[in-house]
Structure 1
């Protein structure tokens, strides 16, 4: 009974501040403009070309950004972990600091550097650099911001590799590329998969970068929710898109937890 009493306050907070708004959004998605309840809103939104384009754009940007973060993050983690250089520890600490920054700061930095009135256009001439306000600008900004979310688990995984194992592989004549491919990456795969799932989830829900960059025709699911709710005041349609976004986010989070749990279980077995 005492444990139940201790659980009541956090459960009440979850229900009031999270459960109730989600239930309200879900309910509103079924309410039509005339007050009737049904699937009309869902049908109108799901078959619309606007929603399908936003869904495709969201998935494409999220997958492409995750792939870019994996390549860049693993490369930088390998350099920091296995090619020590002066300042490597400071760079590693800087990665932790970047994780605490809001995402719109990278969009602001990109605007100062690559915008129409940015540094590069001022040096090279107006109009020389014109990729920022396009899907490529959003993609590069997301890669720049979310790469640390891959680097951090990669660095943690690389630090757990026994140095003797690498020395034995090298003494048997294995090339550095073969050691990387057959020893380093397989052991780090669970951590990399978990980081990739988390990055995919964050990129799919990214709003600040897309809004701040203002890329033309780049409408993702979060941006579509914003447009429907704030610009056109179509709250039922906004709720439908929001529910779809929440379902996808929940599925990706469940995948992330499953991969993380499998990686933790494998690490425990290897340690035993």
Structure 2
């Protein structure tokens, strides 16, 4: 006896799931996103639209100096992280040494560290009463040590490079793990030196990872607050520090919101630029 054919399930057309339209399932996450993120952001934008707020902030010298300092520190830290991260990733990935796997795993752990912890460690080493100055006074008998750069823009730059370099190394190590080592062996057998192998074989494969890591570091440096605060660099005022000063110290909330909106616009603009460049680079391949 042949089995009776089962009735076909009703066609939903990709619009409903068990009688419920699919757009209904999107309502809870959209509501949570709007309540947690979009609503506070809207309040900040609305507060920044106070009469004359943008004109007053843009005309102030403190805002212009903070904008220049923020861009300079973010650009310098990103460049330093790219160079140092690429060099260290090459060593970890291609130079065999005992403990290379432990170093790679430590990088993953390092990414979870808060930024102020790294700055605090640098203060213990290079601070006014840190180890370096203490060793100098013990050896020379001087009243104080010479290491005082940590409270300058160069100290902030050093702290940011120290903290954000692993954010460049992590995508690079992932890219190097997928690199065909036969290419490196063939280039080496044909007489290419290490520098040429890096330039012609490894670097082209690492460019997408470098772009991703560099973009991430650039955006994070633009919004970094803890490192600047914990170094105690009084002459270094970035946009996040200016927001803190306007809102907490001066209680000038419209001005603080204006600076915050400018900081958000720069970050979103850089992210959009990265997406456009990445999409075009992927299309050219």
Common fold: TM-score over 0.5: yes
Residue 117 (structure 2) aligned to one of 100, 105, 113: 105
Cα-to-partner distance string for 1:147-205 (whole Å, 9 max, x where unaligned) = 00100111111121111111111222211111111111011111101111111001111
The corresponding residue for 1:65 is: 77
SS in 2 for 1:147: helix
TM-score, normalised relative to structure 1: 0.91
The corresponding residue for 1:80 is: 92
Structure 1 residue 162 corresponds to structure 2 residue 187: no
Cα distance in 2 for residues equivalent to 1:263 and 1:160: 19
Cα distance in 2 for residues equivalent to 1:262 and 1:204: 25
Cα distance in 1 for residues equivalent to 2:56 and 2:177: 52
- 5+ residue gaps in structure 2? 1-19, 138-143
CA 15–55 in structure 1, closer or farther in 2 if over 3 Å, else same: same
> Where does 1:1-272 land on structure 2 (aligned, <5 Å)?
1-31=20-50, 38=51, 40-125=52-137, 126-258=144-276
TM-score, normalised relative to structure 2: 0.87
Contact 2:132/2:145 (CA < 8 Å) preserved in 1? no
Cα distance in 2 for residues equivalent to 1:261 and 1:81: 28
SS in 1 for 2:120: helix
Cα-to-partner distance string for 1:22-48 (whole Å, 9 max, x where unaligned) = 1111111111xxxxxx4x110110121
Cα distance in 1 for residues equivalent to 2:210 and 2:280: 12
Cα distance in 1 for residues equivalent to 2:271 and 2:185: 37
Structure number with larger C-alpha Rg? 2
Cα-to-partner distance string for 1:103-126 (whole Å, 9 max, x where unaligned) = 110111111111111111111122
Aligned length in residues: 260
The corresponding residue for 1:35 is: none
- Structure 1 vs Structure 2 CA RMSD: 1.6
The alpha-carbon deviation at position 51 of structure 1 amounts to: 0.4
Contact 1:113/1:120 (CA < 8 Å) preserved in 2? yes
SS in 2 for 1:132: helix
Cα distance in 2 for residues equivalent to 1:206 and 1:260: 24
Cα distance in 1 for residues equivalent to 2:273 and 2:213: 11
Contact 2:89/2:169 (CA < 8 Å) preserved in 1? yes
Cα-to-partner distance string for 1:232-267 (whole Å, 9 max, x where unaligned) = 00100000000000001111222344455567778x
SS in 2 for 1:195: helix
